[in-house]
A and B are shown apart, each in its own frame.
Chain A
């Protein structure tokens, strides 16, 4: 979706390495969501932010995952250290008034 840009589109990394995924929402969208999609679990909410403050990160393994919004145009999701079970597609999403949710194209992460 043109409103949300996610980078990188694909990432292959070795177990134990740090992974950073980026989401760039259009300025003015103040609520950002991170979802993870796997074949086994489907789509799960990891965390979401409003006005750059974390509101709910209960879905995120806090020992290795961290999510931040350094500024109003950028959200990041970091995994350190990464594990094979983290392999999934990670989506960033925005909530748009009267439109519902719009999703980015995702980052496909493979940890070997």
Chain B
């Protein structure tokens, strides 16, 4: 059974800092990994999708890496801003035959102080 863990559970940083959020998964047989952002009381917004054959994806100040063999992904946020404050969720999708289930981590609550 796939399990996804996110560390740290919460993070508070001053504006302008670069930061790294960590995600680990127990079963390396994944199809892809997706990072989401969730603002309080809102739905999930997709940030980055990394296919199992890829090593990283970038979008603006965000960079996500994937090391499938070690079961790890990181989300790097450069020059953090107060508007980045949210909960960040990592989710993995299993290979075909394991269903279409997205398994989520518990999330990292990020607060960027101005």
Contacts and interface: CB of A to CB of B under 8 A. Distances in A.
Contacts of A106: 42-43
Nearest to B49: A100
B46 A101 contact: yes
Kindly state the interface size class of chain B when it binds its partner: 20 to 34
Interface in A47-97: 48, 55-56, 91, 93, 95
B102 interface: yes
Contacts of B104: 42-43
Nearest to A9: B41
Given A42-B107, A43-B89, A101 B102 contact: yes
B34 interface: yes
Nearest to A10: B41
Kindly state the interface size class of chain A when it binds its partner: 20 to 34
Nearest to A98: B49
Nearest to A91: B43
A100 B46 contact: yes
B18 interface: no
Given A42-B107, A43-B89, A103 B101 contact: no
Contacts of B42: 105-106
B86 interface: no
Given A43-B89, A99-B49, A91 B44 contact: yes
Interface string B23-43: 000000000101010000111
B58 interface: no
B44 A99 contact: no
Contacts of B44: 91, 93, 103
